[in-house]
Amino acid sequence: MRSAILAAVFLAAPVLAAEDKPVVKEIPTKDLKLKVPNGGKPTAPVIVASAEELAKCPVCSGEIEAVKKLVDFSKEKLVVFAWAGSGQDKVELTAETKDGKTLLVTSFTPGRTRDLRQHVKLYAVPKGAEIKK
């Protein structure tokens, strides 16, 4: 009896937790030919809310059709991070729900190496989400 109750709790917990958390989907950039513009900063993302804005995005200029297939602009917007820096630099985008609104929190961890690498991170996030730096 006890094991049946524990199994029900452990199986239901992930389902309940998944419903509360807003979705932040990282888009793989491995096969995309994206450009890092001069002056790109890991702390200043570019927000692309529509397919028309995507056409004007300098980072995605060579891969517009491929990115359009990965983002549903009717429900989502695209958050683009593009910068040059240490090979160990890391940018993360996490979502929180506060007062019924989705709040996106960005964090940047600078790398310790002196090698210069180009970084591009793409995230599909809910259309109504706000970004906090």
d(CA 51, CA 57): 10
Q: Give the three-class secondary structure for 6.
A: helix
pLDDT at position 11 is 54
| DSSP-derived pairing of the beta strands 76-85 and 46-48 | antiparallel
d(CA 22, CA 19): 8
**Dihedral of CA 66/72/73/79: which sign?**
negative
Mean pLDDT of 45-68: 92
Q: What is the pLDDT of residues 26-40, one digit of tens each?
A: 999 998 999 898 888
User: Residue 52, Cβ neighbours under 10 Å: how many?
Assistant: 9
10 burial type by CB count under 10 A (0-12 exposed, 13-18 middle, 19+ buried): exposed
d(CA 83, CA 88): 12
Q: What is the pLDDT of residues 60-103, one digit of tens each?
A: 988 999 999 999 999 999 999 999 999 999 999 998 888 888 89
Contacts of 62 (CB under 8 A, 6+ apart): 33, 34, 35
The whole-model pTM stands at: 0.79
Identity of residue 70: L
